[in-house]
Amino acid sequence: MKKILVSIIFIFFLIFPKAFASDSKYSDFAIWYRDNYQKEIPSWAIAVFDYETKHPLYYYGQDVVMPSASLIKLVSAGAFLKYNVNWNAKVGLTYNDNEKDLRKYVGPRDSFALLRIATNDRIKISELFASMLIGSANNCANAFPRILGIKKSDFIARMNKTAKEWGMTKTKIDEMSGLSLKNTTTAHDMALAACNAFAIEDISKYSRSDLFSFTTKLGIKKNIKHTVYDLRNNKQNYFGAKTGFLYETQYHVAAGYITKNGKKICVAVMHTPTRAESEDMVVKIGEWVDEMNDE
């Protein structure tokens, strides 16, 4: 039933697309992309903002509501930073963090991203936070309320408050990891989330890191690679990025991107068939922004 409802939303969008540039000096990216690459854009919703001014540069299906997937972890990070955090404190991950609380959102045989450490091992809170942002570790996000010593409902309330502060008027939050289909958002809201989250250094410094390495208390070496492959190879082009994936939504990406001409933009690309296509859209949008600014 969940998949059917999501499909209905996406079919409605296909029938009634909304594509426009918000400033008359910008052409339609969809037309630019088709003319340059002889194909239609593969994503179902896009929003692009100027990072400095928060002025919208391009919208396409920007208000279509869909599950956020792991992009909601940007809001989880923002809410977490509202509390006083001892980054060097050592914490563990429990069975509830790893499996019990999360399994209900996925199939019995489905895998999902986790930071895998023994239940008797310990890591710094900073390492847990980084693993969530860089490797999209669901158990790390799920552990936030327990680590803070508060109820999950209180943390989710703080997430919803953070989303409102960031201008995310159509976002609803059900839990911290993004696995729940009840976490819903729009491309517009996630582009704004990128602008706000990546303006926070404690989020940006991890979200723009291609690789993060640390050693657990038990001496286990962990190397966390960024889930945005293009950032691994071209990290100079990003001041932050986050991916999201669910079978129901396919691939999302929210990025703080620096164009070749040095312009900072916040981009959300939603519901793209493949990871490579979602990342390529961010790069192509950067090319388009530079070309429009040169006119």
Q: How many distinct structural domains can be found in the chain?
A: 1
Query: pLDDT tier at 209 (50, 70, 90 boundaries)?
Result: very high
Q: How far apart are CA 239 and CA 219, in angstroms?
A: 31
Q: What is the mean pLDDT of residues 271-294?
A: 96
Q: What is the mean pLDDT of residues 259-280?
A: 98
Give pLDDT tens digits for 109-148. Answer: 888 999 999 999 999 999 999 999 999 999 999 999 999 9
Q: What is the mean pLDDT of residues 24-48?
A: 87
Entry pTM: 0.91
Q: What is the mean pLDDT of residues 151-160?
A: 98
Q: What is the mean pLDDT of residues 97-106?
A: 94
CATH at residue 282: 3.40.710.10
Domain span including residue 123 = 2-294
The predicted pLDDT at position 294 comes to: 78
The predicted pLDDT at position 27 comes to: 75
Give pLDDT tens digits for 61-93. Answer: 999 999 999 999 999 999 999 999 999 999 999
Q: 221 burial class (0-12, 13-18, 19+ CB within 10 angstroms)? A: exposed
The predicted pLDDT at position 295 comes to: 58
